[in-house]
Amino acid sequence: MDSPFGLLAELTYRCPLACPYCSNPLNLADYQDELTTDEWLRVLTEAEDLGVLQCHLSGGEPLLRRDLVELVAHAHALGLYTNLITSALGFSRRKAEELRAAGLDHVQISIQADEPAVSDRIAGITSFRRKIEAMGVVKELGWPLTMNVVLHRHNIDRVADVLALAEEVGADRVELANTQYYGWAWRNRAALLPSRAQLEAAEAVARAAGERLRDRMDIIYVIPDYYSRYPKPCMGGWASRQLTVTPNGDVLPCPAAQSLPLPRASVREDSLERIWAESPVMTAFRGTDWMPEPCRSCPRREVDFGGCRCQAFLLTGDAARTDPVCHLSPDHDLVAKAVEAANAGSRDDDPPLVPRPHRPGPPPVARSRPGRPGARRRPG
């Protein structure tokens, strides 16, 4: 594709939760200088100019941005389909009604488990009841509702009950997404990676529920990379369909690419159009010319595009290596050993989970940044 169709706008990394599987970067302090309202309005306009059709408003917790309603209204006026990805903490009826009036199209609410004590323990804060109440508000106001559950060793055995809860709240779509090991999830990998028996049982439950509920609810079950024979294509191909803008204005081809040793590109210094087309962070692994063997001669090279660059870097230290998830990778033993460890011993041997730090406090939201020029706009 010549232009992206999806923008992930990570408005803030502040969040009231402390989920140990969070994919946000470990160096949260580097992202405290958040884009101002005017900067985000310009980013949204430039995204629409670039061809973006969908805008996913995420974080952290996007509801901590006091200008969220204004950003939604601007995206709606541009004709973008808007999706709020939220923990639902702060999703009061008043805020929901304001977002509805602003034109928000869809709400995705995360929940950590089906049972209050388990969910609250994983989230690191009492939150289950508020999430359920928020789901009720979403349905009452007529939005489509996606319920997102990140699966891992501590909740994957509860998939049947999670799906029962999804039926109860009237979810239109359920994402059962096994943990991707970036950020805090990478730090906690040994305590989060499920066993093969857990995965097989969960997948069977999800498949049966998908058949039973196919006319009422979409159920998306995403298996963890570590148990796959082949890797998933990174965001449909590196910098081919999606782009991410982080809270401080960095532009990335995927949410986890902060970890890669690539030159920085920022909307505070250049336009989205130029960054998308020319910046090294976007062009480094676009297409297939960069590929090493065995990817270069593999018939799947334009199916999975060599897999995940961030995963390759985390596991091998080299972002240009074949994703070690692939059974053909020369580094596949790194994944095989992690899987072997997850299937050995008992749960009592698991290391303790390290929670993501709470960062709930909203700093002042500036309208603009005096003294800093705006990024260059596309002519005309």
**Strands 218-222 and 242-245, sheet pairing:** unpaired
Using alpha carbons, select from 110, 111, 88, 114 the residue that is nearest to residue 99: 88
Q: Which residue has the tokens 């709400």?
A: 107
Which residue positions form the known binding site? Answer: 15, 19, 22
> Is 25 within 8 Å of 254 (Cβ atoms)?
no
Q: Which residue has the tokens 């297939």?
A: 288
| C-alpha to C-alpha distance for 274 and 279, rounded to whole angstroms | 7
Which residue positions form the known binding site for [4Fe-4S] cluster? Answer: 15, 19, 22
Q: Which residue has the tokens 């700093």?
A: 363
The secondary structure of 221-234, three-state, reads EECCHHHCCCCCCH
Q: For 93-144, where are the E strands, in sequence order?
A: 106-110
The secondary structure of 201-264, three-state, reads HHHHHHHHHHHHCCCCCEEEEECCHHHCCCCCCHHHCCCCCEEEECCCCEEECCCCHHHCCCCC
Q: For the chain, where are the E strands, in sequence order?
A: 6-10, 54-58, 81-86, 106-110, 145-151, 173-178, 218-222, 242-245, 251-252
